[in-house]
Structure formats: C-alpha cells, structure tokens
Structure 1
C-alpha cells in the first residue's frame, strides 16, 4: 500500500482531536474560570531511504534521503492565561488578579479552582456551588456567624465581619491561594476543578499578594479565557486540514485503482 494513504489517516485522526478540543473550548466560552486547551502536532518518524555520507576523496558529503510517515499528537496544553473580569457586586464572588488558585476541600483532599462563585450554607460556611469548603491559610473552612450584620473580603484575602452587637470588625481568616511551579501540569477533573499531578509540582499555599500570588478582587468573577474569534479561525484551519488529508487518501486510492486496471 502507498505510504501517503497512512500519512493521510494519521492527519485525519489528529485534526479530529483538534476539533474535539476546539469544541470543548467553545462549549465553555461562558464558564467561570475555564482555561482553554490547545492542540499541538509533531511529525512521525521518517523512513530513511539512504543515509548521509561524509565528504571524502574527490566527492563531497551527501544528505540523507528520508520519507516522512505522517503526523502525531504532541501535546494538548492547558493555557492558564487570565480571563476577563466581570463585575457582579456580590461580596462572595471572587476573582484572582494574577497567579494562583482557590483551595477548596473535596471530602478529605484539597482541590483547586479559578472559579470564584462562592456562597454561604446554613451554618455560615463559605462553599462553592458543589458544597466544597473554601479554605483559609493554615487550613480550615471560613465561617461567618449567622448573626453577623455584614462581611467584607479585602484584596489581601482577609475575611472580616461585623458582629450584631456592633464594634470593630472581626477577622475570620485569610483566603488560601495555591501556586504551582507548572500549572500547565494540573489535571482537569471537571466542575471547574484542577488536581495536582506528578508534573505540576507540589502545591505552594500562602496568602494573596505574597510570593508572586495574585490579588483577591471581591464582587467580581473571572470569565473564561476562550476567544471565540480565535477558536472559529482554528476551526476553519482544522476543517481545511481535514479536507486536505481526505484528498491524500482519495488520490492514493485513485493511483491504486490505476494499478489494478493495468491488467485489463
């Protein structure tokens, strides 16, 4: 069989994957804290028809003769660029301006998110939409007494409330912000949640505005970093690439048909 046919098949598979990633990006264009994916290809190994030779005697050197055998998937990156900030006016809507992730407790383990739409349950604990507790520095959940008259969250992550008896505000704690040496190595597990992996590096917890961590912006939410114009352009490129690879396969098939017809 012709090598070009198998090269075309490898291209079809890769562009199918690229379209899958683009489709997921577009589906999450309005998902708070979503980080888009990017597909990167690389060539497969090449078949060496003749190796290179060094200069010698009365002849110069000769370059190798190689035929490529198609393409393969190199990486599917998660791009942690900042999304735009949308003002909501809700105190418990939080956005991180800069690096870092909110830490929430999922059962017995910590997981991480950039989606800052938090709420209070009936006990006054600050939770996300799935009931995971927002963590403060040093560990532990953040609890606002039901009798508090008001609460506020500062840019440094300090959570305070005013007691019903009046007086000075009481600080509950400071919101924990996690950093990673390689945030691109985090695993997406769904629900706007990331988990540490073997290549993300260990979690480095700390307070906002310290150690390169971002600033907390209360009353705002970070939107998805998906750019629709970019995604539609990439979709066109992927569609044309898919079509071009189908032409490779059909042309190779026509050549094979001509070979079969030689016997007639």
Structure 2
C-alpha cells in the first residue's frame, strides 16, 4: 500500500516534467529553426515489483518547419536536409535558424548565438566566412577593346568617341578613335588616330581590309600604351576581327553612314561593395558600385546519419555527441538541401499535437493524484480499524 504512494508520486513527477517540455514547445512556436521535443518514459521495477515510472529522456523532432520569406538579406533557410555549421568558442555547433549578419570585421555570424558561420576551404577544413578582403574591389587596367560594325568605303572619315578605359590606378580615360579612309594610297587602308579627352593624339596606326571587306591578317590589330599619374604604363590591344569573318569589323560600301563601335572588354576603377546576397548553392554573391560582381566563399552544411546524436546547446543551436557520423558539404551536393535566400525556417511545433499531449498529461496527472488519495483513504481505514480494537 505504501508503494502505491510512491508510484502515484512518480507518475505525477513524470507528467509534470513532460508538461514542462510541452510548455517550452508552445513558448517557442514562433522561434525560427526551433525543433519540438518529445518526452519518453520508462518503467521502474525491482525484484519486489513495480516502482512507478520516470523520464528516460527527451527526443527532438527534426522535421522541417515552414519556410517564410522575410526580405532580410542575412536570412537563410534550408530546403531539405542539413544544418548550418557554426564555430563558437572552439566548439562546432549546428542550427537550422539562419538569421545571419556580417560583423564589423566582415565575418558572417549567427545573430542569436554569436557563432561564426562556417565554410569549407580547399583542404576540407571548416573556416569562418570572411569577406573583409572583398569590401573594396581593386582597380584593374583595361587590356582589350573589340571593334565591330562597318566602316563605309563611301566615307572619307569616321569618329568613334566615348570609349572609356582604365589605367592601373583605376583612373579613367575617355578616348576617341578617328578613322581616315586611306584607300586612295593603299587599297582597303584606314588610318587610325587615338585621341585623349584633350584632343591629344596618343597613338597612330593603320588597319586594312581585304577585297571581301573583312579585316586583313597582320593589319587587324592595334596596340598602344596609356600612363597613370605615377608614370606607370598599361598596354591596350585593339581587335578588329579576323579575315573571312563578317561577325566583327568590316569595310564595305555603306553610303554616308558607318556603324562601327568599340567595346571595352575589361578594366574598372576602384569600387566599394554595395550588396551581398546568397545563391541556392551557398555561394555568396558580391555586387560592387561599378556593377561588377564576384563570387565569395560558399556556406557549408552538415548532415548526420543519426540525428538523435544531437543535443541542444541553447535555443535552436545543437552540438553533436562524440562519435557522431557527420557529412560536410555545400548546399545541393551529397544529399544536402539547397538554400532559400531572404527567408527563415519557422518552428516545427504543431499546436494541435501539443494540446492533445496536454490533455493526456492532465488526465495522467489526475489519475496519479487519485492513486495517492485512494491509498490515503485505505490507510485511514486501516488506522480506524486498529483504533477500534
């Protein structure tokens, strides 16, 4: 009879602890990346019989939560398998709550835990994502200008202005190409003067066209140097196409109109980073003020053969128990999910399930307390019988 007291008390304690987990699930129903917990019981027995029940442990529901678009550049959700990898005070941690931001040092961190979001380097090592070296795009000089279109043989001259090139310091130079028909001296010949913005001729040359109007081999390119304020020089090659091809520059009869235009292939001034975004394969896309784009590091994801080997650190952050089998890769490979930019994964807590579990716990708690009441009544009856003697 006395054991009934302990069995009922054990039931009440177990149910109350289960209610603690349910209350935590409900409290975190709006916490991004939160994974609901289940409580598991086990029976206590001895050689003398049953000793009630106790909590054997908790299990996490690692099913996906709904993905909601936020519009925030640092928010990332995983569509499919995987966890973001965080480096936090020497410990590797994992989360599905992709609420990230770049700190003042240019390192991508988790807004909630402060952990550094990891990438995988060429050696397969986990390293923090750092874009500090990408904040400014260094200048690169122009090396190539391609011309395409027709130089009409019916014209004596034609100017192509507004061609902007860059030297090694990132300084821009506006050039004008002046073409003069020289076919009266040499068949298919055009003289070319290249002038700067002040009208100074910085280079003179000649190009020639074959009888079919396509550029003549050995006369289809020009090369000239530009200088910067420090006296450095950079060489620019000008291409007019190849013999026999009408895809680039030509010189045929076109009346009083020439259509030839020049395209600067490369080179840019120094430029600052203006936008950072993420692609579905985890690549960080960097956009600069001059319109240039670069690909930065790739975000790493981890997946586990047995997710029950994960334990909660805090909130939506987990650590792996020793001996866990882990696979690290980039989104979209090795069975890993893809990233959804400007979105977050919501909690996977199902309120209807929590309410149903609450009803079961309430009934169990009531039944356990009833056991205590009945056992107490039996003992009272026993004492009454004893006193009556």
* TM bracket, shorter-chain basis: 0.7 to 0.9
From 252, 260, 263, the equivalent of 2:375 is 252
Contact 2:302 2:327 in 1 (8 A): yes
What secondary structure is seen at the aligned counterpart in 2 of 1:135? strand
Contact 1:148 1:163 in 2 (8 A): yes
Q: Does 1:77 align with 2:62?
A: no
Q: Given the superposition, is the C-alpha separation of residues 3 and 225 from structure 1 closer, same or farther in structure 2, using an over 3 Å criterion?
A: same
- Name the counterpart of 2:308: 184
Contact 1:118 1:128 in 2 (8 A): yes
Structure 2 length as normaliser, TM-score?
Answer: 0.59
Q: Does 1:234 align with 2:221?
A: no
In structure 2, distance between residues paired with 1:246 and 1:27: 27
In structure 1, distance between residues paired with 2:384 and 2:10: 28
- Name the counterpart of 2:251: none
What secondary structure is seen at the aligned counterpart in 2 of 1:262? helix
Q: Given the superposition, is the C-alpha separation of residues 33 and 5 from structure 1 closer, same or farther in structure 2, using an over 3 Å criterion?
A: same
Q: After superposition, where does 1:56-95 map in structure 2 within 5 Å?
A: 68-95=50-77
Contact 1:209 1:215 in 2 (8 A): yes
- Name the counterpart of 1:175: 299
Length, aligned pairs only? 244
Structure with the largest fraction of strand: 2
What secondary structure is seen at the aligned counterpart in 1 of 2:99? coil
Q: Does 1:218 align with 2:205?
A: no
Contact 1:47 1:69 in 2 (8 A): no
- Name the counterpart of 1:149: 274
Q: Given the superposition, is the C-alpha separation of residues 19 and 191 from structure 1 closer, same or farther in structure 2, using an over 3 Å criterion?
A: closer
Structure of greater Rg = 2
- Structure 2 unmatched runs, 5+: 136-271
In structure 2, distance between residues paired with 1:234 and 1:47: 32
What secondary structure is seen at the aligned counterpart in 1 of 2:54? strand
From 283, 300, 303, the equivalent of 1:158 is 283
Give the deviation of 1:47 after TM superposition. 5.0
- Name the counterpart of 1:59: none
Give the deviation of 1:71 after TM superposition. 2.0
In structure 2, distance between residues paired with 1:44 and 1:2: 16
In structure 2, distance between residues paired with 1:198 and 1:121: 31
Contact 1:79 1:184 in 2 (8 A): no
Q: Does 1:135 align with 2:118?
A: yes
In structure 2, distance between residues paired with 1:110 and 1:77: 21
Q: Does 1:96 align with 2:78?
A: yes
Q: Does 1:198 align with 2:181?
A: no
In structure 1, distance between residues paired with 2:302 and 2:289: 33
Runs of 4+ in 1 over 6 A off after TM superposition: none
What secondary structure is seen at the aligned counterpart in 1 of 2:127? coil
What secondary structure is seen at the aligned counterpart in 2 of 1:35? coil
Contact 2:11 2:54 in 1 (8 A): yes
Contact 2:306 2:325 in 1 (8 A): no
In structure 2, distance between residues paired with 1:242 and 1:47: 26
Give the deviation of 1:46 after TM superposition. 6.0
Give the deviation of 1:217 after TM superposition. 0.7
RMSD over equivalenced CA pairs, Å: 1.8
